[in-house]
Chains A and B, each alone.
Chain A
Amino acid sequence: MSAGPARAGPARPAVPGRNPLRIGPVSGVWHPRTAAVCAALLLVSAVLMCLGATRGDFPLPLTDVLRVLGGGGEELDRVVVLELRLPRAAAGALVGFALGMAGAITQAVARNPLASPDLLGISAGAGAGAVTLIVLGGAAGPLALLGVPAAALVGALGAALLVYLLAWRDGIDGLRLALIGLAIAGLGTSLTTYLLLRANLTEATQATVWLTGSLNGRAWDSVLPLAVVVLAVLAAAPVFGPRLAALQLGYDTARSLGRRVQLGMALLVAAAVVLAAGATAAAGPVAFVALAAPQIALRLLGRAAPPPVTAGLTGAALVLAADLLARTALPVELPVGIVTAALGAPYLIHLLVAANRRSNA
């Protein structure tokens, strides 16, 4: 018997909706709408980055920003744009991209549109790590040398690892992972609250700002590590993309398609954790982006489970827009996390209501 249905007769009709894209041995499918949406999101993000670069203590007209980006401009403008404003914009874009992508992966693995990397304990772990350093590290101790982002990273990865190990029972199951994650997140939050109660005023203020999620004062040195993480995960996309597609059909189907379910789960959870932990280390826990970006991307694309890259681009545009709003809406500058939380909370309620209506229908 042949390896597949026999190839006989005249040219077979193409499969509607699956446009081939083939170069040599490389083959794939491209969706015109996905390509258009991604291009539009890139454009919106670029515009938002430029607009963001005009704002600050030293306002610059857009033309000057564009001149600097084109390689010209005056010396002072160059310093302001390239050393102060652009790192912040890049940090915003990367944080949004990483959170959106992590959210899309988590929602696909948990097979639940309300899932986010927070369910893996990332934000709570990062918060506990960062606040531990701020409160117990003091101004100069050996802990202080570690730096808040590194402490947040350690906290986030530690919490995620703990969740994964505790949820392991002959393998990982999406629901069990989420429940253990909630418990660990609760533990991390309690630890953070306890430390805040012990802290003095300066430490408590610093900790609270960090816990809100802010892009304020981000320089290139906090952008680069996150850029490396995002590029590494993107490079691994051919490895985890098909696994994600198989796991979306359920564990039994994934296995019958020749996928090792536990290996796939581990790879995908690791990708989501690294992305979310990297983003949180760079900007603090920016609320709701990981939850909302995949769902917005889904509606933009009008197809199942948005590709993580589209969700990432949506997240980038979302964070950049929120950061611009945070800096322009009020006379005082707000942390970006306040805006995403203010926008995200009603959205979460909308999702819950919609899900509830569907299950009652």
Chain B
Amino acid sequence: MIQPSSRLQADRLTLSYGGTEIVGGLSFEVPPGMITAVVGSNGCGKSTLLRGLARLLRPSAGAVLLDGKAIDRMPTREVARHLGLLPQAPSAPEGLTVGDLVARGRQPHQSWLRQWSPEDEDVVAQALCWTDMLDSADRRLEDLSGGQRQRAWISMALAQGTDLLLLDEPTTYLDLAHAVDVLDLVERLRDDHGRTVVMVLHDLNLAARYADVLVAMKDGRILAQGHPGDILTSELLFEVFGLSARLIEDPVSGRPLVVPLGGSRAARRPAPA
């Protein structure tokens, strides 16, 4: 069997905001068919990297390559047919229904005359089925729980029909049950529907639990990348987050579980796990 190659890559990518370099000369290949979680402390450039990969930021040097082509030289619409994005804390006008939101995911495939073809309807219904939101299609977004709302937004990105999905902190503002609900959905998208997912996550334990590949960033660079069980060490946690923690085995998944030492002991180097 031929090993599938990465469709999305960062090649010596440098990203800046108003002259300030946030991500510096970073190279990275998005592993196909897997869930990649990018972690790091606030301001480490993880969201900026995701925005760069999604073509929301123009590189100040280097490039993002989609199927080998520089993404910032591709038409916006063409990119939207291959790459779906869920921005951080997206907002919709008051009163918008789930169905109308998800239908907007079809925009990259539509034309002046074609606004709701049978194929559009099929794909939107399918996306809503996958996220278990079909029965809520005519409900308003503001009447939903946080978890349902996030599933609606993910449905919109799914309706774009792209193999690649970029999710910027999809679990922010969600309580643990809803966060797990959303990440279970991400897992299903990988397993049942062959999607490649890159997401920025705040919660280290959820990242370690769900990611096939964990990318730890600091100061706009990648410090470590690999399976959570291989790369997560207390030294890495201290280096990336300045966090003193012990790692134990998650009794459910067998993945590493981060237990912060906290309190007055936080300043000391932890004992090896």
Which residues of A pack against B, CB within 8 Å? 1-7, 12-18, 20-22, 25-29, 108, 111, 238-239, 242, 245-246, 248-250, 252-253, 255-260, 298, 302-305
Which residues of chain B come closer than 8 Å to A257, judged between CB atoms? Answer: 80, 104-105, 107-108, 160
Which residues of chain B come closer than 8 Å to A303, judged between CB atoms? Answer: 95-97, 100
* A5-B161, A242-B107, A249-B92 known; A256-B83 Cβ under 8 A: yes
Which residues of chain A come closer than 8 Å to B108, judged between CB atoms? Answer: 257-258
Which residues of chain A come closer than 8 Å to B56, judged between CB atoms? Answer: 252, 255-256
Which residues of chain A come closer than 8 Å to B123, judged between CB atoms? Answer: 4-5
Distance of A307 from chain B, by nearest CB (Å): 11
Which residues of chain B come closer than 8 Å to A26, judged between CB atoms? Answer: 113-114
Listed by A's residue number, 27 A-B pairs whose Cβ atoms lie within 8 Å are A3-B161, A12-B125, A13-B129, A15-B99, A15-B103, A15-B125, A15-B137, A17-B137, A18-B100, A20-B118, A25-B113, A26-B114, A27-B115, A27-B116, A238-B115, A249-B101, A252-B51, A252-B87, A253-B87, A256-B56, A257-B104, A257-B108, A258-B79, A260-B76, A304-B96, A304-B97, A304-B140
Which residues of chain A come closer than 8 Å to B193, judged between CB atoms? Answer: 5
B233 within 8 A of A: no
* A5-B123, A255-B56 known; A18-B99 Cβ under 8 A: yes
- Proximity bits, B112-131, A CB within 8 Å = 1, else 0: 11111111111111111110
Which residues of chain B come closer than 8 Å to A249, judged between CB atoms? Answer: 90-92, 101, 104
* A12-B126, A17-B138 known; A2-B161 Cβ under 8 A: yes
Which residues 60-85 in B have Cβ within 8 Å of A in the complex?
Answer: 76-81, 83-85
Distance of B219 from chain A, by nearest CB (Å): 24
- Proximity bits, B13-55, A CB within 8 Å = 1, else 0: 0000000000000000000000000000000000000010011
Which residues 130-173 in B have Cβ within 8 Å of A in the complex?
Answer: 130, 134-135, 137-138, 140, 157-161, 163
Interface residues on chain B, number (Cβ under 8 Å): 65
Report Cα–Cα, A108/B92, bound state, in Å: 11
B194 within 8 A of A: yes
B93 within 8 A of A: yes
Which residues of chain A come closer than 8 Å to B140, judged between CB atoms? Answer: 304
B5 within 8 A of A: no
Which residues of chain A come closer than 8 Å to B163, judged between CB atoms? Answer: 1
Q: Are B117 and A304 touching (Cβ within 8 A)?
A: no
Which residues of chain A come closer than 8 Å to B130, judged between CB atoms? Answer: 5
Report Cα–Cα, A18/B80, bound state, in Å: 23
Report Cα–Cα, A19/B243, bound state, in Å: 53
Q: Are A258 and B107 touching (Cβ within 8 A)?
A: yes
Report Cα–Cα, A249/B124, bound state, in Å: 17
Distance of B107 from chain A, by nearest CB (Å): 4
Which residues of chain B come closer than 8 Å to A250, judged between CB atoms? Answer: 87, 90-91
Distance of A321 from chain B, by nearest CB (Å): 25
Q: Which of B51, B105, B109, B116 is the one whose CB lies under 8 Å from A22?
A: B116
Most buried by B among A14, A18, A108, A305: A18
Distance of A267 from chain B, by nearest CB (Å): 13
Report Cα–Cα, A5/B56, bound state, in Å: 25
* A1-B194, A14-B125, A248-B92 known; A304-B100 Cβ under 8 A: yes
Since A108-B93, A258-B81 are in contact, a sample of 4 more A-B pairs with Cβ atoms closer than 8 Å, ordered by chain A residue number, is A16-B135, A22-B116, A25-B113, A303-B97
Q: Are B114 and A29 touching (Cβ within 8 A)?
A: no
Report Cα–Cα, A39/B226, bound state, in Å: 61
Which residues of chain B come closer than 8 Å to A302, judged between CB atoms? Answer: 95
* A25-B114, A249-B90 known; A305-B161 Cβ under 8 A: no
Which residues of chain B come closer than 8 Å to A14, judged between CB atoms? Answer: 121, 125
Q: Are A304 and B125 touching (Cβ within 8 A)?
A: no
Q: Which of A12, A239, A248, A256 is the one whose CB lies under 8 Å from B80?
A: A256
Q: Are A238 and B112 touching (Cβ within 8 A)?
A: yes
Report Cα–Cα, A21/B114, bound state, in Å: 11
Smallest CB-CB A-B distances: 4 pairs: A258-B80, A4-B161, A17-B138, A5-B126
Which residues of chain A come closer than 8 Å to B120, judged between CB atoms? Answer: 27
Which residues of chain B come closer than 8 Å to A2, judged between CB atoms? Answer: 161
Q: Are B121 and A20 touching (Cβ within 8 A)?
A: yes
Kindly report which residue of chain B lies nearest to residue A12, judged by CB atoms: B125
Report Cα–Cα, A125/B4, bound state, in Å: 60
Which residues of chain B come closer than 8 Å to A13, judged between CB atoms? Answer: 125, 129, 134
- Proximity bits, B218-248, A CB within 8 Å = 1, else 0: 0000000000000000000000000000000
Report Cα–Cα, A108/B96, bound state, in Å: 13
Report Cα–Cα, A189/B202, bound state, in Å: 50
Report Cα–Cα, A22/B114, bound state, in Å: 9
Most buried by B among A4, A111, A305: A4
* A256-B84, A304-B96 known; A29-B103 Cβ under 8 A: yes
Report Cα–Cα, A13/B129, bound state, in Å: 9
Kindly report which residue of chain A lies nearest to residue B104, judged by CB atoms: A245
Kindly report which residue of chain A lies nearest to residue B138, judged by CB atoms: A17
Report Cα–Cα, A245/B96, bound state, in Å: 10
Distance of A24 from chain B, by nearest CB (Å): 9
Report Cα–Cα, A15/B238, bound state, in Å: 49
Q: Are B99 and A238 touching (Cβ within 8 A)?
A: no
Report Cα–Cα, A257/B135, bound state, in Å: 24
Which residues of chain B come closer than 8 Å to A5, judged between CB atoms? Answer: 122-123, 126-127, 130, 158, 161, 193
Distance of B259 from chain A, by nearest CB (Å): 35
